[in-house]
A and B are shown apart, each in its own frame.
Chain A
């Protein structure tokens, strides 16, 4: 374990990053999805020439603009917080992690920010087709920027395409394509952007439902609901499918996180999936396997199937991962810690040999670092060398469990919601279905909740790691006074909250005002 560790600094730094990320994710998913919904609407306008679609497009574009600005403001903070609060991390893996961030700026942000000016100010300055292309480019730019930052995030969960360089004491990229096309990156990207599409679809559906409840703008609302429900239904199906795939990938690459979000303490073959459950504070020692639930509804064998596509497969639990399971070939954490220490000491000896000019030892240790067996058997456990107590490797299980189950339950609910909206719309009864319209209206906060829960599972579930197995969070932090980070934390809290209040008030007012008659906004 690190000596002289300032837990307060680590907690405030984590808190500040989480605060920024959560606020950021409050605004970004709407940008991701609404940009495409607007592009669909404008495409209909340009191809049919019907002015009502221009009116619809411009209304949703106004709400898009209000939301967009605050998303990029929080995004700026996030980017720089990697440096300000996680400086060790920035150096240790900056060779790999920085590249996607730079590419995001060059390839995606400029596309987005340049053509957004055309989107808002170009109606009377450029041709209809140029305007339409600009709207599509904004949508692609926004989602392309999501690709790069999610590639970066996925790399932290599943480090790929890199090798440790003992001379610079950092990890360096050796294969860009492995970083970009890692299964975690691709799946995370698709899962995350489709969750944004889903959120934006609920947003449009909810606000349109409000108009129908008020008996205002009926045609406008029905057309908007049609677009949102089709897009939302397709997206929500894909969110569930990619979520399932994500769990399977996680079971292989981050088994501890997988066990935590399932509340699985002791692994078993043919493991059941806990569909619903209430976790207990005390471990149940009366059973053969420790399952910390006071009440639970389980679906037999489903967890094994979900993880390995085999209903009888063994799924390791938290205890197996901490204490090891010889029968299943799972190494105990104490062994990983020991190997991590050897990797660290080897690096230390390498540095000493280099400083002392001990050429023979230097060359010998250099060869050790280049040996793939050493990399695989020792260096891959480098991060474990920072720990003493194997229990420190266990994330917060209740948060991971409840977050995951909330997200999954809501994911299925959204499919039902969109399916019903389409059914009522096509049957012509939507306007009369007031209970459904109320339900649609009150669903508005739920995709936000699901998105936040998803990120909580992803980020808290992988603790204590900043980079899985290589760098613990406690070793990634900048050396600052905890009080300094505490101060900026509260400043950000005040600023972000004030801006959020302003955004909600402005948006509510725009919704009350409704679309302008002539299609101008």
Chain B
């Protein structure tokens, strides 16, 4: 009994860590959002170089957070890793391609003899910013809408079908784009990334022209973001969800499941509401005043909101990766996790996370304490 409590505690602890990493990842997607605005906000080569360089100092943190998010998911919920990545093959592969072309684009963009030309690398950045955010959002959308897969760990002894997790349609993840709720989340993440990218530029670049252009485009991007976000939340809270009985592990459909989760977990509801208010306040403050601190309000708000959404997906006896093909194959934090020993070991490792946050923040301040200027682009290491 004690062991099962301990295991459940660790499963919940690790879902919180995953949720935190996921929420920071969404915040850090401001890099991707910014990449889709290079032409819109940068009218000259020099302006575009400033925009690229302001993002170029942060892209590796986003990239690393994505890698760590994947690694932490693998270690704590390996059945999700094997089921989703091995099943929704095309979606994840498309996301990976988007990130591969990003990784080299910054370093190669302005280097002489770069074979494909500056324009090509800027297109790579755009593709990463556009498809990367859209597809990540759409893929995470399936946490609430489900996918068609089956899971049977005992297949490992079945010589005629040894596959533990099998995708049960030939589309291997592409079908996620046919669900309006998934698409709405994808579009929301895309426009949120753009909003955050704009707020980040306003905070870090010393250029009045870019600042005023950014301010104008903030409104253009905030409107579709708010509309798609509200539509997504509306659908989420009124739809049926994937619940499970903790005693038997049986998964069943429950009307208004995610609304119930919000009501039954008041702390999560507070995170969600405070998060949404902060995101909106960061946007509004930046539109109505000359403040350049909107990124901090909207950034913290994004982390809180996404954190709450992850908790809605996995807590309160909810299947976080549901199967619409076979309900009982749905993944919950209880049936897809690592063993007690591994989660405990990893819990010790997770104590490093605050240290990581501390030095990332410290270095961020050290590098961003002065705004980026045109002169700097000519004198030092510039992308």
Contact = CB atoms under 8 A, between A and B. Distances in A.
Given A66-B108, A106-B353, A506 B162 contact: no
A82 B74 contact: yes
A70 B101 CA distance: 9
Contacts of B93: 84, 488
Interface in B70-125: 70-72, 74-76, 78-79, 81-87, 89-90, 92-93, 96-97, 99-104, 106-108, 111-116
A438 interface: no
B108 A506 contact: yes
A7 interface: no
Contacts of A117: 57-58, 60-61, 363, 367
Given A101-B75, A121-B367, A125-B370, 9 more contacts: A70-B104, A72-B103, A76-B103, A87-B85, A99-B345, A101-B70, A103-B346, A348-B154, A480-B86
B166 interface: yes
Interface of B: 57-58, 60-61, 63-64, 66-72, 74-76, 78-79, 81-87, 89-90, 92-93, 96-97, 99-104, 106-108, 111-116, 153-154, 156-157, 159-167, 170, 172, 338-339, 341-342, 345-346, 349-350, 352-353, 356, 359-360, 363, 366-367, 369-370, 379-381
Of the candidates A76, A386, A488, the one having the most CB atoms from chain B within 10 angstroms of its own CB is: A76
B71 A104 contact: yes
B139 to A, nearest CB: 12
Given A80-B70, A130-B366, A386-B159, A495 B115 contact: no
A68 B107 CA distance: 9
B78 A95 contact: yes
**Consensus secondary structure, chain B interface:** helix
B81 A479 contact: no
A103 B61 CA distance: 16
Contact of B100 (A115, A116, A495): A495
Contact of B367 (A1, A125, A344, A509): A125
B166 A479 contact: yes
A331 interface: no
A505 B115 contact: yes
Contact of B92 (A75, A84, A118, A479): A84
B78 A495 contact: no
A2 B159 contact: yes
16 contacts: A2-B162, A4-B160, A69-B108, A80-B92, A87-B85, A88-B82, A102-B71, A105-B69, A121-B381, A172-B341, A173-B341, A348-B157, A478-B86, A484-B89, A506-B111, A509-B112
B75 A66 contact: no
A502 B96 CA distance: 20
Contacts of A125: 366-367, 369-370
A77 B349 contact: no
B342 A173 contact: yes
Contacts of A481: 170
Contacts of B108: 66, 69, 502-503, 506
